[in-house]
Homo-oligomer: A and B are copies of this chain.
C-alpha cells in the first residue's frame, strides 16, 4: 500500500548504497533532505533545489497545521502544488516541534496540548490528528506521531516516554490506513541501549515502511550519539530505509552512514548559511570575519557551485555585513551544494567499496588548514 519501493544496490561494511522510488520520483541513498519548515527551504526556489540535485525535502507538520492550516493547503491541492515542488516530500509528525515548546505543552496518553506560538490559542495534537494533517498535506513519507525525550533524562521517564511512543506508533499505523504515502515509525529510548532495543523491536512487530531514529541531536555528546546508533541500527530491518532525524554535521552524517543509515535531514546547512558559516572541505569559512573583506577568491576555489563560480569572499562578506537577502541566497546555495556533493561522494565511495579510505581522507581534509595553493 505504501506506493514506494526500496532497493539496496551495493554495500560496504554496514553502509548501503540504495534507491527509494516514490510515485513522485526516485531518491538515491544515502541522501540528505533540506528542511522546508514553512513550505519553503529558506531563501531557495524549488527550481534551484532541483538544480542542486535535491530529490526529497522535509516539511513541518506542526508549523503548517498552524499556518496556513492543513485545510488551506489541502483546498489548494496539497503541499506539492502549494509550494511548487513536484518531487517527494517527507513530513515530520509534529512530535519534535511540540517537544521543543518545553513548558508550553502538556502530554497525556491521549496526545499533547499546547499553546500556539503564533496566536496563543490552545491546540491539541495526537496520533490521529497528525496522520490526518499529513494526509491533507499530501505527504509522500508520513512520520508516526512520537514523544521525543529530552536530554538528559532518567531511565524510568525515558522508558515511559518510549512506551508511549510505541503505542502512538500503533495508533498512527491504524490511522494511516488508506493513505498511499509511506509510513515510517520512530525509534525512541533516549541514551539507553536497552530501551532503544525495546523500541525497535516493538516497531518491527507493528511493521512500518521505514524506520527513523529520533531523540538524537538533542544536546548529547557526539560519542553518546554514536553509541546509540551502534545500539539501534543493527536492530532495524535491512530491507527498509533507515532515517536519522535532525542530524547533522558532515561528520555526524558520515559516521551514521558507516553504521547503515540511509537518510538525513537538518537545518544546519541552511541556517548556518544565513549566519555566514560556510562549509568547506577544510572546515568552515566564517564569511563575516573581517579577514575576508578584500579577498577576491571564492569561498572554495575547487567548488563548482553557482556562488563559488561567480562571487568573491569579499562580495559575500559585504552582503553579509549589509544584511542583504542575496547574501543569504548565495550562502545557502553553497552550503546545500556542499551537502549534496558530500552525499554523492559518500554514495560513490560505498558503490566502490572504499568508504573507509574515503572517510579517512575526508576527516584529514576537514581537520587540515585551508590549502594555500590559491592564495
Contact = CB atoms under 8 A, between A and B. Distances in A.
A40 interface: yes
Interface string A314-345: 11011101101110111000000000000000
A310 B82 CA distance: 9
Interface in A62-102: 67-68, 72, 75-77, 82-84
A294 interface: yes
29 contacts: A38-B318, A38-B319, A38-B322, A38-B324, A39-B318, A40-B319, A40-B322, A42-B326, A43-B329, A44-B326, A45-B330, A68-B294, A68-B318, A68-B321, A72-B294, A76-B294, A76-B312, A76-B314, A76-B315, A77-B296, A82-B312, A82-B314, A82-B315, A83-B315, A84-B310, A84-B315, A325-B325, A325-B328, A325-B329
Total identical chains: 2
A311 interface: yes
Contacts of A294: 68, 72, 75-76
A366 to B, nearest CB: 29
B72 A315 contact: no
Q: Which 4 A-B pairs have the closest CB atoms?
A: A43-B325, A38-B322, A40-B326, A68-B318
Interface string A29-50: 0000000001110111100000
A316 to B, nearest CB: 11
Nearest to A310: B84
A288 B248 CA distance: 35
